[in-house]
Structure 1
């Protein structure tokens, strides 16, 4: 890689001083990698739990005699100047500390994330946005504000959408035609032929009615073998039926794909995505054009895949993938005969990255911002699509909408529309707010179905984003539904 050349020749400073807001699993991994990462210094950590903030340094093996609590901006400045690392439960002070170059926003709370990002930009600090719930709702306007302020707003390596954006940008830069791309879900379906079972391998809790293992009926076993040429749609549909009892991709998966679509211009073939269970060898077979036996009518399609594999086979590791071709016949011959996995007629090949390391590898995005003043996203970040929610059960008036793990709602990806009655509501503008009306199961939730909170920075930013990027004459939810029914 060229990182060391870039840093040594073009860096504007010798070290990047970082503040991490949100000491969960992701944010803590940024801290614990600090001692092993040249040019990176996490000088401040904040969390609503002061114990969690302090524990991030403990997990990193820091000398805790040089780690201390700070309650005010002045206190933090003085202690950092004296060589200490600080932790706090006053997250807002981190955006005002002079000795911070990059703020890593990792709270997972879209309203607070928007507030901290806005404050960091106003104080001349770069923002590494880890809270995808905020990024998917108002990321484009935050990036625009950062550019106007002369700082960087960036997605991060380690998050799957950030890695997919970079893989896509690389593919386009070397002249590949991208047919599709996406991420692998964290859970993988392990098919034991001898036992006739499929078991999900995941670190997430399994909630009823989903189960960990299903038994495959003998007549269905053929659908779990390699997809035959010309039978993709049939096999994908049958697998969806057979494996329906296992945990399926969640709203958080679609959230990341929405951000990637907004950065790259890739588009979903349908609003709920296919998220097919596929072997690595089947990705170029299924996720290519219909003319070549795949599912898609167009190129540049974004989707999910759940890795289906035997216990002794390699998996996708929650990584990312592209299905590509070369438009020159000779180049395409090289592409499909030099080790890449191709489809049946060699019209497409899969390129994949079988891992994402979360906060362990986020330092590349942080250092790019802090040392070079560049982001690791794509150039034209626009609100092309919104993640929206559909009631999975009856939701009563006054109920509080939950996050992307709330089973009372499912997610869809649709063209972005402004905040207005009748328009489908951006999913994360719902979070923590109350239903204004009774919402029957199966109903797509619109803005007039939610009580708008007073004084919300997130909602204000979203309206500003609408004014900057979206037409006031955009179609309503009814128009969208009629368009989808015709297609």
Structure 2
């Protein structure tokens, strides 16, 4: 990477002054790296919990004597000028501070995130968007508003969709054809061949009816061997059956891939994504075109993979991958024979980044945005696809819709549609709002099934995004590809 050269030669200030909104695990990781990160200072943290806001500073080892609780903009800016750091439970204060150049929006609440991002842009602050629930719904319009205001709106290093977008842009910049790309789910399926068991390795809680370990019948174990040539469809179908009791990818996984699709133009092959359990060596075998033995009818696909491995094997570390080829025969020979993992006919190889460091590595995006006015996404961000929700069980009128971690709903990825009665509802325009009618299990949720909240920034910005982009998306994308 050449980031250090960029920082040394082109920055216009000594540091980027950062305000964090939302001191959860992600936001706190940015703060705890502050003492070790050049050119970055977290000057302000806001959270609905004062203890959480102050605690993020303390966890970072910041001197308690330098921390000041503030409940007004004037007192907060005065404290920052005196070299103090401020914490508050009033998020609007951080958005208005002279002593903050960039806002990290990490509340995880789509309505709040939309409002804070809009205010930050209006106040000429750069925005590092960590709340993917907001980004997937209205990211393109926020990016447009930021550009018009002369500030940067960016995804972040550390989030998998942000890493995938950068990886894709790098691959295209060196002339690779991207057949497919995606992220590894955080959980990995570990196969103990001697015991005949598969266990999920995850830091997330496991909820019934899912289980942590499945015992594999003797007659099924052949499907857990490496996929033979020409057997992709059969093996993936049988693996899905055998491993169905283990926790599966969640709506949050599809959410991230929807954002990546909207930035890159990669598209889902099916609305639920394939999300196959695959060894690293099997990714180029399965996630290439059908004419070369894979799953996909053509190139340019976005999907998920759950790493399937033996106990002593390395995994994907929640990282990201691309299946690529060179369109020059000699270059492709080099690509597939110099250590990269190819498919059976060496028409594709997998390249992958086997880690994502969450908030620990987000400082790269923050510094590029704040010091160089560079975002770490693609130049073009269009509402190509929507994340939508399906009722996983009966939902009663008046019941509140949950977020991407709720078992109440499952997710799909569909071509984007405008806010209108009868159209599938963008997933996070549902979150926290109530069902207007009884909704049977298996029903795709539409806008006429949800009570629209009053004075919603999220809904207003989504309608503006629809008005500006949806009629032009095809033309804009065609211009970009050309």
Distance 1:381 1:250 in 2: 24
The answer for unaligned runs of 5 or more in structure 2 is: 475-482
| Secondary structure class of the residue paired with 1:267 | coil
Partners of 1:283 and 1:350 within 8 A in 2: yes
Q: Map 1:78-117 to 2 at 5 A.
A: 78-117=78-117
Partners of 1:418 and 1:472 within 8 A in 2: no
Partners of 2:276 and 2:305 within 8 A in 1: yes
Partners of 2:384 and 2:473 within 8 A in 1: no
Distance 1:4 1:201 in 2: 36
The aligned residue for residue 216 of structure 2 is 216
Partners of 2:183 and 2:319 within 8 A in 1: yes
Distance 1:92 1:300 in 2: 41
| Secondary structure class of the residue paired with 2:38 | coil
Distance 1:413 1:104 in 2: 27
Distance 2:452 2:300 in 1: 35
Partners of 1:277 and 1:305 within 8 A in 2: yes
The answer to whether residue 55 in structure 2 is matched with residue 52 in structure 1 is no
Q: 1:472 Cα deviation (Å)?
A: 10
Partners of 1:21 and 1:103 within 8 A in 2: yes
Partners of 1:19 and 1:45 within 8 A in 2: yes
Q: Per-residue displacement from partner, 1:41-94 (whole Å, max 9, x unpaired)?
A: 000011110000011011101111111111111111010000001111111111
Distance 2:6 2:423 in 1: 45
Partners of 1:388 and 1:425 within 8 A in 2: yes
Distance 1:373 1:471 in 2: 29
Distance 2:104 2:472 in 1: 33
Distance 1:212 1:68 in 2: 45
Q: 1:99 Cα deviation (Å)?
A: 1.0
Q: Per-residue displacement from partner, 1:403-422 (whole Å, max 9, x unpaired)?
A: 00111110000000000011
Distance 2:279 2:304 in 1: 13
The aligned residue for residue 478 of structure 2 is none
The aligned residue for residue 458 of structure 1 is 458
Q: Map 1:47-446 to 2 at 5 A.
A: 47-446=47-446
Q: 1:207 Cα deviation (Å)?
A: 0.3
| Secondary structure class of the residue paired with 1:268 | coil
Q: 1:130 Cα deviation (Å)?
A: 0.1
Q: 1:14 Cα deviation (Å)?
A: 1.5
Distance 2:298 2:346 in 1: 18
Distance 1:106 1:473 in 2: 28
Distance 1:430 1:60 in 2: 36
* TM-score, structure 1 normalization: 0.97
Count of residue correspondences? 474
Distance 1:96 1:173 in 2: 38
Distance 1:59 1:351 in 2: 36
The aligned residue for residue 479 of structure 2 is none
Q: 1:471 Cα deviation (Å)?
A: 3.1
* TM-score, structure 2 normalization: 0.98
Distance 2:36 2:336 in 1: 38
Q: Per-residue displacement from partner, 1:230-272 (whole Å, max 9, x unpaired)?
A: 0001001100000000000000000000000000000000000
Distance 2:420 2:24 in 1: 35
Runs (4+) off by over 6 Å: none
Q: Per-residue displacement from partner, 1:337-380 (whole Å, max 9, x unpaired)?
A: 11111011100000000000000000000000011011000011
Distance 1:145 1:14 in 2: 27
| Secondary structure class of the residue paired with 2:389 | strand
The answer for unaligned runs of 5 or more in structure 1 is: 475-487
